Amino acid sequence: MLDLAFLRNNLEAVEARLALRGGDNPLAGFRELDRQRRAAITEVERLKAQRNAGSEEIGRLRRAGQDTAAQQARLRELGEQIKTLEEAAKQHDAALDEILRTTPNVPHESAPAGAGPEQNVEVRRWGKPREMHFTPQAHWDLGPSLGILDFDRAAKITGARFAVYWDLGAKLERALMNLMLDVHTREHGYTEVLPPFLINSASLFGTGQLPKFAEDLFKCEGHDFWLAPTAEVPVTNLFRKETIPAERLPIKIAAFTPCFRSEAGSYGRDVRGIIRQHQFQKVELVKFARPDQSYQELESLTADAEDILQRLDLPYRTVVLCTGDMGFSSAKTYDIEVWLPGLNEFKEISSCSNFEAFQARRAEIRYKPDARGKSDFVHTLNGSGLAIGRAWVAIVENYQQPDGSVVVPDALRPYLNAERISAEGRAI
RNA sequence: GGAGAGGUGCUGGAGUGGUCGAACAGGGCUGCCUGCUAAGCAGUUACACUGGCAAAACCGGUGUCGGGGGUUCGAAUCCCCCCCUCUCCGCCA
């Protein structure tokens, strides 16, 4: 959410930057609505002030033992008037609120202008895709043939876009989770958190998934509970409606959670394999930072995520998203894309964003710069560190051998207790 | 799921219809005092919206005592619905 006063004073500049995201101008009706709303508020408050003064007067007269029937009748009428005007004021208020709640964040000046993914800019590349003197298999062939990935039974027990992991497949998922959490908590200074996986509407509003993107989520019937689409939601909302002492910043949290997404509107995309599932696991990194430090925190957050790929010796590139490809709440986003030989392309495995005060304003997360100063909104950031399912794919595809076996990367061997997954799916 | 108790400001804790944004205590901040610390003294101490202004300071108004509705000239106080915490029972891992 953008700041109302800031919007009022910088409307044209904000509109110009939002235009870089593409689509219609979300602030088209702002100026007029704002004017109407303020006029309505002024009038209602004027009448309420009158009523309050009148009520006080009645209190005084009563105590003096005087009759107040006439005053009461007059104020009753005033009350009717207030009620009517208040209805109108509420409508203006709701209309303006609707604009505020559905207007995306303003892109940071360092985010490249562009209409879509083609205009994202590669900022660095790490590692070289292995030379394979055979035709690499995609994980959706290799996984089932190793007996570690099972789509048929997942379809039976649940439906499309779900998977069952067997034996070393399940263990590989768990090994990745442990490696990521260990590295981030022991070496990168993050605090581990295990949050609820069901979250309420207020939390989803705080991070920006609601009200606009309800169709991407799963809702629990009969409850104000939703399946978390990412740990970003519960973890960022940990500090909702709180004021954090400045000396505690930056707060850095790593959280493992499953993530649930309806993937509405992505029917044709990534239909094979486990690239795009309704449920996947992720280790998420979340930061709360002072505004003047948030962009350097974004750089280190991205580096922390990249470090996992380096330890797994998986080639990747990092791109900065252009204004037309960024998410609703983000001011600047880096995507990390891992090389997948089976698909023969780089595929997003992490998305690291600085939301500046956009989420903090929605979720009312403040900090106090010092004991005397006024509190201000923190900046929130988050990034996948990493998406575990896609890391699983990257390992199986990048480390596959001509004989159909998969070599286990050094960093995972202590976790998996194996050096290789044989073509028959056994630990060696 | 059933029964009961409770949710007030940074904290503890008063307050059952009238000048309550809220007594009192503690904490914080500012100043005085003090060689320093402690003690003491005085003042101050929420947030949002809104008007005066283009803005800041400042002054005023409106709203906020878990959330939402209602009664009333007037609600922290009365009524209704919901949420949360605690205790007991049931159920369950």
**What is the rounded (10 degree) CA torsion for A381, A387, A390, A394?**
80
Rg (chain A; Cα; Å): 27
What is the rounded distance in angstroms from the CA atom of residue A207 to the CA atom of residue A357? 11
Q: What was the pLDDT predicted at A188? A: 98
- In the block, tokens 């990257």 appear at A394
Give the Cα-Cα-Cα angle A64, A66, A70 (nearest 5 degrees).
Answer: 135
Neighbours of A309 (CB within 10 A): 23
Residue A384, helix vs strand vs coil = strand
* Amino acid (one-letter) located at A7: L
Which two structure tokens, joined as six digits, stand for A191? Answer: 């605090």
Cβ pair A72, A58 in contact under 8 A: yes
* Amino acid (one-letter) located at A69: A
At a 7 A CB cut-off, the residues bordering strand B are A 4-5, 8-9, 34, 37-38, 41-42, 44-46, 48-49, 51-56, 58-60, 62-63, 68, 71-72, 75-76, 79, 371-372, 374-375
Q: Is A405 marked active-site?
A: no
Name the nucleotide nearest A47; use CA and C1': B62
Residue closest to sugar C1' of B28 by CA: A371
* Amino acid (one-letter) located at A134: F
- In the block, tokens 């207007």 appear at A103
Q: Is A351 marked active-site?
A: yes
Which two structure tokens, joined as six digits, stand for A359? Answer: 């989420």
Name the nucleotide nearest A48; use CA and C1': B62
Q: What was the pLDDT predicted at A64? A: 81
DSSP state of A343: T
What is the rounded distance in angstroms from the CA atom of residue A53 to the CA atom of residue A169? 73
Q: Which of A203, A294, A350, A351 is catalytic?
A: A351
Cβ pair A44, A38 in contact under 8 A: no
Reported ipTM = 0.88
Name the nucleotide nearest A224; use CA and C1': B83
Q: Is A366 marked active-site?
A: no
A222/B2 CA-to-C1' distance in Å: 21
What is the rounded distance in angstroms from the CA atom of residue A403 to the CA atom of residue A136? 11
Sign of CA dihedral A211, A288, A333, A183: negative
Q: Is A294 marked active-site?
A: no
What is the rounded distance in angstroms from the CA atom of residue A162 to the CA atom of residue A158? 7
Q: Which of A173, A174, A348, A426 is catalytic?
A: A348
* Amino acid (one-letter) located at A300: S
Strands of the A251-260 sheet, one edge to the other: A121-126, A316-320, A332-340, A345-354, A379-387, A279-289, A251-260, A191-193
Helix A139-146 vs helix A388-398: crossing angle, to nearest 10: 80
Report all structural domains of chain A as residue ranges with CATH numbers, in order of start.
4-102 (1.10.287.40), 117-421 (3.30.930.10)
Q: Is A276 marked active-site?
A: yes
Neighbours of A156 (CB within 10 A): 11
Q: Which nucleotides of B are covered by protein (CB under 7 A)?
A: 18-19, 28-30, 47, 49-51, 54-56, 60-63, 72-74
- In the block, tokens 């959280």 appear at A255
* Amino acid (one-letter) located at A186: R
Which two structure tokens, joined as six digits, stand for A27? Answer: 């602030």
**Per-position pLDDT tens, chain A of length 428:** 999 989 999 999 999 999 999 989 999 989 999 999 999 999 999 999 999 999 988 988 888 888 888 889 999 999 999 989 988 888 888 899 999 999 999 999 999 999 999 999 999 999 999 999 999 999 999 999 999 999 999 999 999 999 999 999 999 999 999 999 999 999 999 999 999 999 999 999 999 999 899 999 999 888 889 999 999 999 999 999 888 888 888 999 999 999 999 988 777 788 899 999 999 999 999 999 999 999 999 999 999 999 999 999 999 999 999 999 999 999 999 999 999 999 999 999 999 999 999 999 999 898 888 766 778 899 999 999 999 999 999 999 999 999 999 999 999 999 999 999 999 999 99
Which two structure tokens, joined as six digits, stand for A276? Answer: 């795009």
Tell me: cis bond preceding A386? Omega within 30 of 0 counts. yes
